[in-house]
Chains A and B, each alone.
Chain A
Amino acid sequence: MMSEELTVYSARVEKKIGFVGALTALAEQFRIHRWHIGQLFIRDFSNSYQLTRFGVIWNYLLPVVPITVWVLLSGLRMFPSFNGVSSVVWVTMGVTLWFLFSGFLMLPITTVEAKIREGSKSDLPLIGFVIVGYAQLFFDTMVRLIATAGVFAFFQGVPDPAAIAVPLVVVAAFLFFAGIGLILAVFNLAYRDIAKVVAMVLQYGMLLSGIVFPITEVPVLSDFVAWNPFFVFVDSIRTLCVAGTLSHPAALAGFSASGLLIFLFACRFFYLSENRLKGFS
């Protein structure tokens, strides 16, 4: 046998790999291809504003536009304040978190569907394209976060010290929604209706998750909020920042734990499926 590395392309599926092994393999793919991922992010980032007169300003402006719409409506007193929290703050935080969490879910689905062909002609594994998408989502969220922090400081003052735990909740939400997103992304290649159904569900989901108005005040819906992961994660962060408490700790713990399991399963499923699905588009 030669001393060089041996590459094997086989019809056989690498079934022996475990959950942690798959997660490690995906992380290794990220490490190997991190420069390529960076190049693609730069490409997409600069493509989005090229040939415009205002240039890169659009990349900072567009992410905050949806927030400004809701803030404008709140400013016109379209939404009530809740538990002493200004409706502007309520809506700004809600919309920022909604875009982040729905992005965690939707991005893998749309990215894998769009990039499966490009992925077949590139050295970059599909997970790399998903990470490029997440990098753009991260940038947009950072821009929104600055706007949200400004609104919070202006209308609400200083956040509660317990807000330091917010990143943990965000990570838990990421594991939960990204895990589901990765699983659905693979299934969506076989059943193309999935992307459309998820998009449709998210349209209703924004209204049913207490993003722009306090859903706990709506009699019929308030009984079910603890079963809605979007509501649980968004509301946990809001209450942590405003009051320093968790509104639904048990539900949050449940979704966080299940999120970890879902994410591990999703990583293995995605890793095992990816190689077999290359070439289909």
Chain B
Amino acid sequence: MFMHGDTVLEVDGVSKLYSRSPLESQNRIAEIVNAAFWGRDFLFGEMQKREFWALDGVNFTLKRGEAIGVIGLNGAGKTTLLRMLVGQFPPDRGEIRIAGKTAGMIDLTAGFNARMSGRENIYLRSATLGRTKEQVESMYDEIAEFTELGEALAAPLSTYSAGMRMRLAFATTIFVDPALLVIDEVLAVGDFQFRQKCLERVRALRERCAFVFASHSMTDIARFCNEAIVLDKGRVDFKGEPEAAIRHYQSKRPRTYLEPAHPEGTADKLGDRFNDEADLTDLRYAYVASSGVETSAFHWNEPIRLKVEFRLHRPVSRLNIGVPLWRDGEETMLCALSTEQNEFSIAPDEDGKCAVEVEFGRGVLAPGAYQAVLAIVDGPKFLYRQPIKDFTVERERAPRTWGQFVIPHAWSEQKRNPRTNQ
């Protein structure tokens, strides 16, 4: 029962039983209710057919200033664990001990009412979070300012866009000063500037308190946590450094969905990875120099040719091949080439084989290293999306350039007419 030193959270053998059958859940409720009515101890008897441990014997401790990431596939038990940490429901086995106040950022919009104004919803949501009237009144101006919603706060929530609602929800929830902060997925919302503001606030909180963070974003886990656990079917499958946990998690993921190879680095800017082997196989690609030789290094004034071949195993209606490009070390996409953009249609042969080539870059890309992604899409459905080999544009023999690329342009000199002086 006692917690030592700076320990804020102790999760001790925590388990949670769920059932996929509503009837079995009802039977469990009946057991609990009957035990409570007759003053008996409630003991879990035999497990029912469709019952399973959503969490099974989870243990960890957390000190002030520490942050633990919780990683796992959907259904691994992440949200169940987080909901128990904020007391939304009790464990069925084990114990959770928390020294100090807990704040949870789970279901950000829970407690909102669409018919009430933004202002009223700040009060209502704050009440749901357990704040007193005095606390809300003292922080109201700060929350309102953080939302940047201005006069819209007087309007009913039903008139808000999804982004405005999230701003209101995030601002109302984030004004806390807990010993333990529990966040499920959402670290920041809104446009770029607002997201920066959210992240700044979360970072400040993370330094003051213990922090539990569940996410599918490996970059965020690596960035915010100093330890991580990987949950698999309710059990702690791995516990350790975030990078090691991420590697462990990625090694266990299904092949159709691959995580970035460098979660903490720039690779995440390249977006989601996808490879549906049921629909697309035999993919080969190569960068080819003007000499016809495969290479990944090009002269500045040389065309860069990318050849792509693959075989489709499904009929396609609107095949589109895209190649977004990033300059190494830059977060923002430089540009994207796509067959759709050029209205270039691709027709697979009888065996479903496709072979295309794209040429780009002659005298346009500034010297440096580039990263690219190959995306093959049929209408809205991704068939393949993976980073491909990096390539470089050599500095040798290149004129001096500024910026990331040189747009086609021409200079001319306009001479003054001495007669008209114009």
Q: Which residues of A contact B (CB under 8 A)?
A: 1-2, 4-13, 15, 33, 35-36, 39-40, 43, 46-47, 50-51, 118, 120-124, 183, 186-187, 189-192, 269, 272-273, 275-280
Which residues of B322-359 are within 8 A (CB) of A? none
Q: B411 an interface residue at 8 Å Cβ cutoff?
A: no
Residue of A nearest to B13 (CB): A11
Residue of A nearest to B88 (CB): A120
- Distance, CA A69 to CA B84, complexed state (A): 50
Question: Which of B4, B94, B128 makes the CB contact (< 8 A) with A123?
Answer: B128
Which B residues are CB-close (under 8 A) to A4? 99-101, 179
Q: B110 an interface residue at 8 Å Cβ cutoff?
A: yes
Q: B186 an interface residue at 8 Å Cβ cutoff?
A: no
- Distance, CA A51 to CA B130, complexed state (A): 29
Q: Of residues B33, B102, B107, which shows the largest number of chain A Cβ atoms within 10 Å of its Cβ?
A: B33
Q: B286 an interface residue at 8 Å Cβ cutoff?
A: no
Known: A36-B130, A43-B116. Contact between A9 and B2, CB under 8 A? no
Which B residues are CB-close (under 8 A) to A39? 123-124, 127
Which residues of B1-40 are within 8 A (CB) of A? 1-4, 6-8, 16, 25-26, 28-30, 32-37, 39
A43 pairs with B90, CB closer than 8 A: no
Residue of A nearest to B28 (CB): A280
Q: B133 an interface residue at 8 Å Cβ cutoff?
A: yes
Question: Which of A5, A186, A275 makes the CB contact (< 8 A) with B90?
Answer: A275
B94 pairs with A7, CB closer than 8 A: no
Known: A272-B36, A278-B90, A279-B88. Contact between A191 and B30, CB under 8 A? yes
B90 pairs with A190, CB closer than 8 A: no
A190 pairs with B26, CB closer than 8 A: yes
Which A residues are CB-close (under 8 A) to B111? 121-122
Question: Which of A5, A13, A123, A279 makes the CB contact (< 8 A) with B36?
Answer: A13
**Beyond A46-B116, A190-B34, A277-B29, 15 additional pairs, beta carbon < 8 A:** A2-B3, A2-B99, A5-B101, A8-B98, A9-B84, A10-B95, A11-B90, A12-B95, A13-B35, A35-B127, A123-B129, A124-B128, A186-B36, A190-B29, A276-B36
Q: B61 an interface residue at 8 Å Cβ cutoff?
A: no
* Chain A contact residues: helix, strand, loop or mixed: mixed
Question: Which of A11, A51, A186 makes the CB contact (< 8 A) with B33?
Answer: A186
Which B residues are CB-close (under 8 A) to A6? 1, 3, 97-99
Which B residues are CB-close (under 8 A) to A51? 115
Tell me the smallest distance from the CB of A79 to a CB of chain B, in Å. 41
The 29 sampled A-B contact pairs (Cβ below 8 Å) are: A1-B2, A1-B4, A2-B100, A4-B179, A5-B100, A7-B97, A7-B102, A9-B90, A9-B98, A10-B95, A15-B41, A39-B124, A43-B113, A43-B120, A43-B124, A46-B116, A120-B83, A121-B107, A123-B130, A186-B33, A190-B32, A190-B33, A190-B34, A273-B32, A273-B36, A276-B42, A276-B90, A279-B83, A280-B25
- Distance, CA A272 to CA B179, complexed state (A): 27
Q: B92 an interface residue at 8 Å Cβ cutoff?
A: yes
Q: B72 an interface residue at 8 Å Cβ cutoff?
A: no
- Distance, CA A141 to CA B97, complexed state (A): 44
Tell me the smallest distance from the CB of B309 to a CB of chain A, in Å. 52
Which A residues are CB-close (under 8 A) to B88? 120-121, 278-279
Which B residues are CB-close (under 8 A) to A279? 16, 83, 88-90
Which B residues are CB-close (under 8 A) to A123? 128-130
Tell me the smallest distance from the CB of A12 to a CB of chain B, in Å. 8
Residue of A nearest to B39 (CB): A15
- Distance, CA A38 to CA B49, complexed state (A): 44
B127 pairs with A40, CB closer than 8 A: yes
Which B residues are CB-close (under 8 A) to A277? 29, 32-33
- Distance, CA A2 to CA B6, complexed state (A): 7
- Distance, CA A4 to CA B98, complexed state (A): 9
Question: Which of B1, B29, B130 makes the CB contact (< 8 A) with A280?
Answer: B29
The 8 closest A-B pairs by CB, nearest first: A279-B89, A123-B130, A4-B100, A36-B127, A190-B30, A2-B99, A278-B89, A9-B96
Known: A124-B128, A190-B33. Contact between A7 and B87, CB under 8 A? yes
Question: Which of A12, A47, A120 makes the CB contact (< 8 A) with B89?
Answer: A120
Which B residues are CB-close (under 8 A) to A122? 110-111, 128
- Distance, CA A6 to CA B4, complexed state (A): 12
- Distance, CA A5 to CA B7, complexed state (A): 13
A11 pairs with B97, CB closer than 8 A: no
- Distance, CA A118 to CA B109, complexed state (A): 12
Residue of A nearest to B95 (CB): A10
Which residues of B183-225 are within 8 A (CB) of A? none
- Distance, CA A187 to CA B35, complexed state (A): 11
- Distance, CA A1 to CA B97, complexed state (A): 11
Residue of A nearest to B96 (CB): A9
- Distance, CA A43 to CA B96, complexed state (A): 34
B32 pairs with A9, CB closer than 8 A: no
Which B residues are CB-close (under 8 A) to A2? 3, 6-8, 99-100
Residue of B nearest to A7 (CB): B98
Tell me the smallest distance from the CB of A263 to a CB of chain B, in Å. 15
A273 pairs with B107, CB closer than 8 A: no
Tell me the smallest distance from the CB of B305 to a CB of chain A, in Å. 56
A121 pairs with B110, CB closer than 8 A: yes
Which B residues are CB-close (under 8 A) to A275? 90
Which A residues are CB-close (under 8 A) to B28? 280
A47 pairs with B115, CB closer than 8 A: yes
A189 pairs with B127, CB closer than 8 A: no
A11 pairs with B95, CB closer than 8 A: yes
Question: Which of B97, B98, B99, B115 makes the CB contact (< 8 A) with A50?
Answer: B115
- Distance, CA A173 to CA B160, complexed state (A): 46
Residue of A nearest to B2 (CB): A1
**B70-90 Cβ-contact flags toward A at 8 Å (1 or 0):** 000000000000011001111
Which B residues are CB-close (under 8 A) to A269? 36-37
